[in-house]
Homo-oligomer: A and B are copies of this chain.
Amino acid sequence: MVLIEPEEDGNIGAIARVMKNFGFKELILVNPKCKIGQEAYVRAMHAKDVLKGAKIVEEFDPNEYDFVVGTTAKGGGFYNVRRFSITPRELKGKLSGKVAILFGRESIGLKNEELEMCDLVVRVPTSKKYPTMNISHACAILLYELSGLKEERRLAKREEREAVLKMAEEVLREIRFKKTSQKKTILLTLRRVLSRAGLRKREAYTLAGMFRSIRNAMKNEGN
């Protein structure tokens, strides 16, 4: 993460926090126009290590990186080739090796000559009425897209989902439907709904338990 001539230390702190949120560490400040004071540390919260570890340099050298990604709030129009941009989503799969993400000044962003040294330019698709995001928010969205952080989930396996459906079927067997197609439609609906929901293990147990309780109640009353 490379900030070119940042102007407000609160934003630098906020960026340090969001970097740590997404597992990024290396922050470079190119010729900062503000002192990194209390506001930066307040906003960094538990990412003071990222803030303290920030490198301050006078100039940025694109040749140290495999990819240099520029950011802009303005679209390229038809002629301004240097501002032709892609979305944060589209960055995925286009980067490898050592990557620098450049953010410009809060006031005027990156200059044309800075955008010219970028291999890719990215723009968050925003409202035309107010396209310019706060720098730390734009940064949050970029890092969110770039972070490969995968959530470990304990999704129900096929047999656990099938157990729910089997119990539901046993319940439905107790009911005399006029058409057999009704039962089939219900079970298909259940199957689809459970799959689309990304059913967790624990939820599968709960729902199978529900149908089991219903079945038992029906059988007892039937006796």
Q: Chain A: residues with CB nearer than 8 A to chain B?
A: 14, 17-18, 20-23, 43, 45-47, 75-76, 78-79, 81, 84, 86-88, 90, 123-127, 129-134, 136-137, 140-141, 144, 147-151, 154, 171-172, 174-177, 182, 185-186, 189-190, 192-194, 196-203, 206-207, 209-210, 213-214, 217-218, 221-222
Contact = CB atoms under 8 A, between A and B. Distances in A.
**Identical copies in the complex:** 2
Given A137-B14, A171-B214, A186-B207, A193 B202 contact: no
A174 B151 CA distance: 39
Contacts of A192: 197, 203
21 contacts: A17-B134, A21-B126, A21-B130, A21-B132, A45-B134, A78-B154, A81-B203, A84-B200, A90-B198, A125-B148, A127-B147, A137-B137, A141-B141, A172-B210, A172-B214, A177-B213, A185-B206, A193-B203, A194-B197, A196-B198, A221-B221
Most chain B CB atoms below 10 A, which of A172, A185, A218: A218
Given A20-B130, A133-B140, A186-B207, 7 more contacts: A17-B134, A21-B124, A84-B202, A125-B149, A189-B206, A197-B197, A217-B218
